[in-house]
Amino acid sequence: RGKAERVSEPCFYDAAMDEAVREQRNLTSDLRAAIGTDQFVLHYQVQARGDGDIAGYEALARWTHPARGTVSPGHFIPLAEQSGSIVPLGNWILRRACLEAAKWPEPFRVSVNVSPLQLADPMLVSTIRDALDESGLAPDRLIIELTESAIIRDREAALNALSAIRDMGAGLALDDFGVGYSSLDVLRSFPFDRIKLDASFVSQIEESRQAVAILHSVAELGKSLGMVVVAEGVESAEQLRIVLENGCGAIQGYLIGRPAPDLADPEAVRATVRRSRLRDRNTLVL
Ligand code: C2E
Ligand code: MG
Ligand code: MG
Ligand code: MG
């Protein structure tokens, strides 16, 4: 459109918007300054297998702003992406997660989220290698979680990076599967060894037969591709029973543990999984 046309449009720029822009700008510079300080910590959410044994933990970043208090990752991760801080922040998260996981009991693995812009960083692979070397964590105890949106930006660069990560011996999880693009082509073309079925999907399985049928098919597909299928956002005993009955190999969700600074109690996790799994649907109708 021509310039004259644009000039004649009403102007939505007002004081409130000015304030909002200033707020975002302040938060962005606070975020940059907070990287590497104790304002950022990692919380860990437990992941269990069908038998109730702990498989590992997902690292989830938490920011406590000195004036605003808790800022959720749903807010600060996009902010860090927009401002370019995600690379230094993500590097800090990777190093910290590896250092902390190296102190955990041997079999537990740590999953670390890597955002699209981090994957586009040509240094990502060497950053991961350095984090492993520095911490002494065995590569097979690290899992990198990525969403499909990270891959579709530059497929060739993504494939190279993902292959290098797998060659190192680390695991690769396709996060939030079942929403967004969810193309089967991604499962075929990229070296993922696990699929995380999105929580918004799991939340429907108690009411929707279709959701259960899809869950079942994804679990079967995953199995035949040699992948572990993890159900995210499991909140109820009934959901847990359904996802395990339909072939998911692992679960994560508030039912067995919320993200926390400390590791979950293995006995409590095992008891919750076994109790839910053994639940007989018919005996519940009292
Ligand atoms: P995600 O990787 O899919 O992580 C799972 C999110 O679901 C977490 O939210 C977790 O607290 C939440 N969750 C887990 N179980 C349940 C449940 O049973 N019910 C419900 N309603 N929610 C559950 P969180 O910690 O707020 O993180 C949100 C998103 O922010 C993450 O989604 C991830 O995409 C991103 N994120 C978090 N930490 C990091 C990080 O260190 N780096 C990057 N790049 N992204 C991160
Ligand atoms: Mg994740
Ligand atoms: Mg997810
Ligand atoms: Mg998510």
Tell me: the pLDDT tens digits for 86-145? Answer: 999 999 999 999 999 999 998 999 999 999 999 999 999 999 999 999 999 999 999 999
CB 170 within 8 A of CB 144: yes
pLDDT computed for residue 94 by the predictor: 98
pLDDT computed for residue 2 by the predictor: 47
Q: How confident is the model at residue 227 (pLDDT cuts 50, 70, 90)?
A: very high
Pocket test for ligand 1, best of 64, 70, 77, 83 (most atoms within 8 A of CB): 77
**One-letter amino acid for residue 205 of the chain:** I
The Cα 243–Cα 205 span in angstroms is: 8
Ligand 1 contacts CB of residue 233 (under 6 A): yes
Q: How confident is the model at residue 258 (pLDDT cuts 50, 70, 90)?
A: very high
Q: Look at residue 1 and tell me whether its pLDDT is greater than 70.
A: no
Q: How confident is the model at residue 286 (pLDDT cuts 50, 70, 90)?
A: very low
Average pLDDT for 161-188? 91
Average pLDDT for 146-174? 94
pLDDT computed for residue 103 by the predictor: 97
> Closest by alpha carbon to 257, among 243, 245, 240, 244?
240
Ligand 1 contacts CB of residue 199 (under 6 A): yes
Ligand 1 contacts CB of residue 173 (under 6 A): no
Pocket test for ligand 1, best of 113, 114, 194, 202 (most atoms within 8 A of CB): 113
Ligand 1 contacts CB of residue 113 (under 6 A): yes
Which H helix or E strand runs over 219?
Answer: helix 209-224
Q: How many A from CA of 138 to the centre of ligand 1?
A: 24
The Cα 277–Cα 279 span in angstroms is: 5
**One-letter amino acid for residue 223 of the chain:** K
Q: How confident is the model at residue 268 (pLDDT cuts 50, 70, 90)?
A: very high
Average pLDDT for 12-18? 74
The Cα 127–Cα 245 span in angstroms is: 39
Give this prediction's pTM: 0.93
Q: How many A from CA of 149 to the centre of ligand 3?
A: 13
CB 136 within 8 A of CB 102: yes
The Cα 259–Cα 170 span in angstroms is: 22
The Cα 134–Cα 41 span in angstroms is: 19
Residue 209: CB partners within 8 Å, gap ≥ 6?
none
ipTM of the complex model: 0.98
